[in-house]
């Protein structure tokens, strides 16, 4: 059996530069709640899941309901910005995506972002057809558990901003717990 | 499994290759990393 080759991509900061849209979304959503955050505060939380971030901003006022409400509003605003303004891939990403696709590499995304965000980004990039699998925040309870939703689990270094490569067959990433695109 | 870290600030990441941007990645990088991974597994 010939070995399949696969690439597992992180999304924010690797596939796309989404920092500005996330910043605007957090800033405006929290402002509606009467909370002001600085860009530095935002950056210190960038890449983490909302249920980790929001309690930090709300403090003792955080409840499961308020976390859910703010998270939903923030992500809706983020997706609106991506749909309205589009989003560009990071430099060098588009040629690699298409080259690997054309050469028969399997490609997947493992991201702490909600699945709806990933779908909107892939649509904006016209890249939905390139990915055979997606793992999102919806698939794991905590971002640092993403490694464990693969069988065997990914090493801790796998979920950093970047790209991970597989050569094994069958590919564990595609075998279970990864929703087909 | 091999990894490529992307960090535009040039900070070190625990990856086999770290680049500031994927357009700086050598054209053979993906194949080379997998060959290394394959050899390491066979020898291990």
Q: Which domains does chain A have, with CATH numbers?
A: 6-17+88-175 (3.40.50.1000), 19-85 (1.10.150.240)
> Measured between beta carbons, which residues in chain B are less than 8 angstroms from residue A7?
30
Do β-strands A6-9 and A162-166 pair in parallel, antiparallel, or remain unpaired?
antiparallel
| Residue among A1, A3, A7, A2 at smallest CA distance from A105 | A7
How far B33 CA sits from the closest chain A CA (Å)? 8
Q: Is B28 on the interface with A (CB under 8 A)?
A: no
pLDDT of residue A171: 35
> Measured between beta carbons, which residues in chain B are less than 8 angstroms from residue A105?
30
pLDDT of residue A52: 86
pLDDT of residue A139: 73
What is the arrangement of strands in the sheet containing A6-9, beginning at the earlier edge strand? Answer: A133-135, A106-110, A6-9, A162-166, B2-6, B17-19
Say whether pTM exceeds 0.90: no
**Which tokens sit at A146?**
């993403």
pLDDT greater than 60 at residue B43: no
pLDDT greater than 80 at residue B37: no
pLDDT greater than 80 at residue B36: no
Using CA atoms, how far residue A130 sits from A9, A20, A108, A173, in Å, is 12, 25, 8, 15
> Measured between beta carbons, which residues in chain A are less than 8 angstroms from residue B14?
156-157, 160
Mutation site, B2, B5, B6, interface A, largest A CB count within 10 A: B6
Pairwise CB contact (< 8 Å): B25 & A162: no
B39, closest residue in chain A (CA to CA): A167
Q: For each successive 10 residues of chain A (181 residues), what is the average pLDDT?
A: 71 89 97 95 86 90 94 97 96 93 88 91 95 80 47 47 45 35 35
A92, closest residue in chain B (CA to CA): B23
Pairwise CB contact (< 8 Å): B25 & A165: no
Q: Is B23 on the interface with A (CB under 8 A)?
A: yes
What ipTM was reported for this prediction? 0.82
| SS3 category, A32 | helix
Assess whether the previous peptide bond of A170 is cis (omega < 30° from 0): yes
At CA B21, angle to CA A100 and CA A144, rounded to 5?
80
Say how far apart CA A44 and CA A40 lie, in whole Å: 6
| B3 vs A5, A90, A164: nearest CB | A164
pLDDT greater than 70 at residue B42: no
Between positions 57 and 116 of A, the ones with CB within 8 A of B are: 90-93, 95-96, 100, 105
């Amino acid at each position: 059996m010939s070995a399949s080759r696969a690439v597992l991509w992180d999304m924010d900061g690797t596939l796309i530069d989404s920092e500005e849209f996330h910043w605007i979304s957090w800033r405006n959503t929290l402002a509606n709640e009467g909370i002001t955050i600085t860009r530095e505060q935002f950056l210190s939380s960038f890449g983490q899941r909302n249920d980790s971030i929001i309690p930090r901003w709300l403090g003792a006022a955080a409840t499961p309901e308020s976390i859910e409400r703010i998270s939903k509003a923030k992500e809706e605003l983020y997706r609106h910005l991506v749909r309205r303004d589009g989003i560009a891939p990071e430099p060098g990403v588009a040629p690699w995506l298409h080259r690997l696709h054309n050469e028969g590499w399997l490609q997947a995304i493992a991201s702490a972002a909600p699945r709806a965000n990933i779908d909107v980004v892939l649509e904006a990039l016209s890249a939905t057809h390139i990915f055979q699998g997606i793992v999102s925040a919806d698939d794991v309870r905590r971002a640092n558990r993403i490694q464990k939703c693969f069988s065997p689990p990914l090493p801790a270094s796998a979920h950093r901003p970047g790209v991970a490569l597989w050569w094994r067959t069958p590919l564990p990433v595609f075998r279970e717990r990864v929703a087909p695109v | 499994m091999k990894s490529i870290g992307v960090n535009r600030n040039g900070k070190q990441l625990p990856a086999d290759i770290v680049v500031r941007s994927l357009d700086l990645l050598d054209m053979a990088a993906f194949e080379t990393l997998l060959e290394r991974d394959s050899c390491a597994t066979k020898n291990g």
